[in-house]
């Protein structure tokens, strides 16, 4: 009887537990169901987001057939390291000529991946120079999986652009867009093959336009975007909402090697000019003005009596060059070129380079407070003329100087005995940042007198990176020596 009672009690307990658990689960389900029922998205919002999603998908599908994968192969030669004991007869006796010591010279094949975009139905493809540089073999894979052998038509290291041709007809080609119309905040998509993942689409906005001094190429006017650009995306298209090519994805800013929200693309307007010149001439034909220019610092603006810093200050003139013939002088401040206002020297440099040689263009400048209009006939830039002033790779790297003009001498009240070059600006990463100052006058470099920029560059360009430099400097009425070191 007691056993039966225990069984009844156990059963009753299990039933009670079951009812309790059931109530909890029922309550939880009711709460969850109620929570989901209260979570409502308006039909208007759903419709808007669906339309945006459909538009992005349609845009991607329209452009993807024009994007290609580019793989290159090149041979890397390793010189090897020979052990000095190899020449010892004793070691040769036991180990022979190889001896197992050191590393013999050898070759290996290296492969790299990149992207490109078809810009002409007859097989012309635009990509980055660094994608195909040094390539012995180029393989182009289309969106439909067809594979072709690529041939380099031309490459331009100064803009990091290249044109590749494949033997194919009636290819889907992308439409060209006007990159000058891009605005910060415009929606864009980037397509390419990051890490070999073909036809990868990322989206974002235009973060900025006109980015220069990035250190990627000689001629820089980059579009900055937050669309994900990773290794392998180089050479792929940056596309606007109309499905038009507005940029060629080129590089990322990263401290880790991966994407960190900052990518750069070459504007389509610059890319189109370079591409057409490469196809027609096999090289880039650039315009040349025959001047050296620099940005205007607040201090210099004050000295020159200028109200705005937007423009380019002429720091030197090439004798007999187009600017010299037109009447442009050292110390002039160029504000307009060919009807377009100039924001900085980089913009002017790019505009001059894009101007066909032989064309006469109007130039506006300020001289001694007066606005002057001139016409300049642009010449063709030769290899010698295209070279910038010698690159400084020592303790004076990042120090920008100019000649002392009569107006500067008067405004700064410099004695006639003070001859040299004046420092206009110093880069933040320059070894001289904490030693020199803007408006310092460098009179001597390593006990050699300098009277102008040419003298200065001749001396400085011959100094080795690890060599210390002795300077004679004039600052605020005092002359003194100081030393610089890149370490």
Length of the chain: 487
Query: Which residues are tagged catalytic?
Result: 130, 160, 234
Mean pLDDT: which of 74-88, 407-421, 439-453 is highest? 439-453
- Residue 437, pLDDT above cutoff 60: yes
Say if residue 211's pLDDT is above 80.
yes
Output 420 or 105, whichever has higher pLDDT. 420
Tokens, residue 307: 């109200």
Q: Is the pTM for the entire model greater than 0.85? A: no
Taking only the tens place, the pLDDT of each residue in 260-284 is 678 889 999 999 999 999 999 888 8
User: Is residue 425's pLDDT more than 60?
Assistant: yes
From CA 224, how far away is CA 22, in angstroms rounded?
59
pLDDT at 274: 93
Domain extents in the chain:
175-269, 287-386, 399-484
Average pLDDT over residues 347-361: 90
Q: For residue 287, is pLDDT > 80?
A: yes
Range scoring the smallest mean pLDDT among 27-36, 110-119, 270-279, 413-422: 27-36
Per-residue pLDDT of 119-138, as tens digits, reads: 999 999 999 998 998 888 99
The partner residues of 376 in beta bridges, in order of sequence, read 361
Q: Check whether 308 has a pLDDT greater than 70.
A: yes
**335 contacts: CB under 8 Å, gap ≥ 6:** 308, 310, 311, 341, 342, 364, 365, 366, 371
Q: How confident is the model at residue 174 (pLDDT cuts 50, 70, 90)?
A: very high
Comparing 173 with 483, the larger pLDDT belongs to: 173
The more confident residue out of 466 and 21 is 466
Greatest mean pLDDT among 146-150, 192-196, 390-394 lies in: 146-150
In the chain, helix, strand, coil percent, each to 5? 30, 35, 40
Question: What integer pLDDT is reported at residue 384 of this predicted model?
Answer: 46
Q: What is the mean pLDDT of the chain?
A: 81
Please give the CATH number for the structural domain made up of 175-269. 2.40.10.10
Q: What is the pLDDT of residue 243?
A: 92
CA distances from 272 to 175, 211, 235, 251 (A): 11, 18, 14, 19
The answer, yes or no, to whether residue 99 has pLDDT greater than 70, is: no
Percent of the chain predicted with pLDDT > 90 = 36
Fold of 287-386: Pdz3 Domain (2.30.42)
SS3 for the chain, per residue?
A: CHHHHHHHHHHHHHHHHHHHHHHHHHHHHHHHHHHHHHCCCCHHHHHHHHHHHHHHHHHHHHHHHHEEEEEEEEEEEECCECCHHHHCHHHHHHHCCCCCCCECCEEEEEEEEEEEEEEECCCEEEECHHHHCCCCEEEEECCCCCEEECEEEEEECCCCEEEEECCCCCCCCCEECCHHHCCCCCEEEEEECHHHCCCEEEEEEEEEEEECCCCCCCCCCEEEECCCCCCCCCCCEEECCCCEEEEEEEEECCCCCCCCCCEEEEEHHHHHHHHHHHHHHCCCCCEECCEEEECCCHHHHHHHCCCCCCCEEEEEECCCCHHHHHCCCCCCEEEEECCEECCCHHHHHHHHHHCCCCCEEEEEEEECCEEEEEEEECEECCHHHHCCCCCCCCCCCCEEEEECCHHHHHHHCCCCCCCCEEEEEECCCCCCCCCCCCCCEEEEECCEECCCHHHHHHHHCCCCCCCCEEEEEEECCEEEEEEECCC
Least confident of 1-5, 180-184, 312-316: 1-5
pLDDT at 69: 93
> Could you give the CA distance from residue 268 to residue 274 in angstroms, rounded to a whole number?
10
Q: What is the pLDDT of residue 387?
A: 42
Instruction: Categorize the per-residue pLDDT at 337 as very low, low, confident or very high, splitting at 50, 70 and 90.
Output: very high
Q: Is the pLDDT of residue 257 over 60?
A: no
Bridge partners (DSSP) of residue 484 are 469
Looking at residue 30, its pLDDT comes to 52
Q: Name the residue with tokens 């033997």.
A: 167
Higher pLDDT, 180 or 301: 180
Number of helices and strands (H, E) in the chain?
11, 28
Best CATH choice for the domain 399-484 from the list 3.50.30.40, 3.40.50.300, 3.40.190.10, 2.30.42.10: 2.30.42.10
d(CA 154, CA 100): 45
Fold matches, 287-386 and 399-484: yes
């Amino acid at each position: 009887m007691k056993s039966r009672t225990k069984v009844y009690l156990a059963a009753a307990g299990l039933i009670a537990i079951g009812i309790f658990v059931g109530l909890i689960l029922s309550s939880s389900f009711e709460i969850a169901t109620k929570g989901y029922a209260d979570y409502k998205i308006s039909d208007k919002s759903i419709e808007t987001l669906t339309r945006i999603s459909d538009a992005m998908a349609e845009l991607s599908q329209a452009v993807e057939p024009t994007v290609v994968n580019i793989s290159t192969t090149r041979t890397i030669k390793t010189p090897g390291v020979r052990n000095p004991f190899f020449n010892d007869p004793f070691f040769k006796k036991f180990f022979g000529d190889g001896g197992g010591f050191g590393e013999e010279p050898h070759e290996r094949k290296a492969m790299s991946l990149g992207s490109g975009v078809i810009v002409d139905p007859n097989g012309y493809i635009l990509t980055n120079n660094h994608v195909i540089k040094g390539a012995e073999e180029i393989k182009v894979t289309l969106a439909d999986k067809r594979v072709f052998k690529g041939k380099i038509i031309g490459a331009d290291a100064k803009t990091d652009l290249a044109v590749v041709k494949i033997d194919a007809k009636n290819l889907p080609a992308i439409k060209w867009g006007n990159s000058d119309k891009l605005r910060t905040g415009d929606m864009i998509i980037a397509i390419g093959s990051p890490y070999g993942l073909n036809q990868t689409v990322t989206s974002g906005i235009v973060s900025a336009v006109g980015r220069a001094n990035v250190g990627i190429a000689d001629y820089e006017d980059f579009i900055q975007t937050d669309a994900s650009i990773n290794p392998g995306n180089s050479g792929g298209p940056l596309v606007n909402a109309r499905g038009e090519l507005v940029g060629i994805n080129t590089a990322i800013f990263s401290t880790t090697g991966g994407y960190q929200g900052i990518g750069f693309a070459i504007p389509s307007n610059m890319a189109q000019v370079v591409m057409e010149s490469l196809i027609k001439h096999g090289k880039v034909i650039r315009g040349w003005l025959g001047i050296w220019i620099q940005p205007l610092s607040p201090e210099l603006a004050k000295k020159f009596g200028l109200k705005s810093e937007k423009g380019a200050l002429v720091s030197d003139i090439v004798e007999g060059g187009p600017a010299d013939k037109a009447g442009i002088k050292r110390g002039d401040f160029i504000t307009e070129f060919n009807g377009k206002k100039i924001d900085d020297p980089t913009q002017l440099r790019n505009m001059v380079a894009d101007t066909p040689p032989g064309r006469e263009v109007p130039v506006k400048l300020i001289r001694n407070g007066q606005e002057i209009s001139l016409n300049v006939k642009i010449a063709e830039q030769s290899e010698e003329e295209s070279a910038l002033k010698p690159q400084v790779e020592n303790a004076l790297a990042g120090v920008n100087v100019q000649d002392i003009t009569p107006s500067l001498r008067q405004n700064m009240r410099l004695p006639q005995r003070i001859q040299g070059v004046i420092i206009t600006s110093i880069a933040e990463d320059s070894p001289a940042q904490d030693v020199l100052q803007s408006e310092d006058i460098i009179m001597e470099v390593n006990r050699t007198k300098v009277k102008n920029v040419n003298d200065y560059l001749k001396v400085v360009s011959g100094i080795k990176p690890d060599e210390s430099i002795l300077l004679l400097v004039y600052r605020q009425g005092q002359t003194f020596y100081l030393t610089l070191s890149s370490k």
